[in-house]
Amino acid sequence: MLKLYSFGPGANSLKPMLTLHEKGLDYEQVLLDPRKFEHHSDWFKKINPRGQVPALDDRGHIITESTVICEYLEDEWPTEVKLRPDASWERADMRVWTKWVDEYFCWCVSTIGWHRYVGNMVKGLSDEEFEEKVKNIPVVEQQVKWRRAREGFPQEMLDEEMRKISYSVRKLDDHLRDHEWLVPSMYTLADICNFSIANGMQHGYPELVNKEDTPGLLRWIEQINERPAAKKMFADVPREIRHEDAKK
């Protein structure tokens, strides 16, 4: 039995979750609560020593890193639904897009997300309580990020990340105006991995993602949301961050 440890259906957690749903694979969903720092708890660090979700347990093999999990599912659990092209150059095209989301797009969106939500989440803690939490984080760069979120990110960094978000949104829209999917011939892991970061930006960044400025990107976001697998997933798995909260 497949078992997926993750947060709710957003960002990196969404990638394998949507892949599993698209492929119609049965799996057990173990939701961790980021507000309780459950991913930094001892029990979970026994599963992933880096204290990061998502992580997939497949008959005792632990697979980590969201994009790696998605390709793993294609390798190990081939289904009639194919989310990876057969042609090698299309496969390469897919990987250029999943690499881009992992190295660029997800980071700028993540910093602003941390600025908006995580900052508020940890500001209520006393210094002592906060240090107690940080101590449990195994990755140094993550410790730095938690501290920055609490102190407030430098404005210069926020401006730079917003520039990167604008660029990313433009890049996706330029492509999606002329193509149904990122790899033009079919819906692939490239769409799933980029959608996982882009979905919700029409609410969180309405000044950037809207009908006038990014019709291609918006069409694609809506089109993926309308897929039966996505509908089922969003109906089945609760989200922990709601757009209403995001606007506060």
Which one among 47, 68, 121, 246 touches a copy of itself, defined by CB under 8 A? 68
Contact call for residue 91 and a copy of itself (CB under 8 A): yes
Residue 150: count other Cβ atoms within 10 Å of its Cβ.
17
Residue in this structure with the two tokens 């941390």, named with its chain if needed = 114
d(CA 71, CA 196): 15
Which one among 65, 161, 173, 191 touches a copy of itself, defined by CB under 8 A? 65
Contact call for residue 22 and a copy of itself (CB under 8 A): no
> Binding string to a copy of itself for residues 162 to 201, with x set by CB under 8 A, is what?
-----x----------------------------------
**CB within 8 Å of 105: residues ≥ 6 apart:** 168, 194, 197, 198
Nearest to 234 by CA among 8, 41, 3: 8
Q: Which residues of 11-43 are buried (b: 16+ CB within 10 A; e: fewer)?
A: bbbbbbbbbbbbbeeebebbbbebeebbbbeee
Residue 237: count other Cβ atoms within 10 Å of its Cβ.
19
Contact call for residue 63 and a copy of itself (CB under 8 A): yes
Which one among 96, 125, 228, 231 touches a copy of itself, defined by CB under 8 A? 96
Which one among 13, 19, 67, 202 touches a copy of itself, defined by CB under 8 A? 67
> Binding string to a copy of itself for residues 98 to 137, with x set by CB under 8 A, is what?
-x--xx----------------------------------
Q: Is the Cβ–Cβ distance between 164 and 76 less than 8 Å? A: no
Which one among 61, 135, 211, 248 touches a copy of itself, defined by CB under 8 A? 61
Contact call for residue 89 and a copy of itself (CB under 8 A): yes
Contact call for residue 95 and a copy of itself (CB under 8 A): yes
Token pair, residue 142, equals 């993550």
d(CA 173, CA 106): 16
Q: Which of the ranges 92-100, 125-133, 193-201, 223-231 carries the binding residues for a copy of itself, by CB under 8 A?
A: 92-100
d(CA 238, CA 14): 12
Residue 107 has phi, psi (to 5 degrees) of -70, -45
Which one among 22, 57, 71, 173 touches a copy of itself, defined by CB under 8 A? 71
Q: Which of the ranges 28-36, 68-76, 186-194, 228-236 carries the binding residues for a copy of itself, by CB under 8 A?
A: 68-76
Contact call for residue 11 and a copy of itself (CB under 8 A): no
**Interacting residue ranges for a copy of itself, rule: CB under 8 A:** 58, 61, 63-65, 67-69, 71-72, 75-76, 88-89, 91-92, 95-96, 99, 102-103, 140, 167
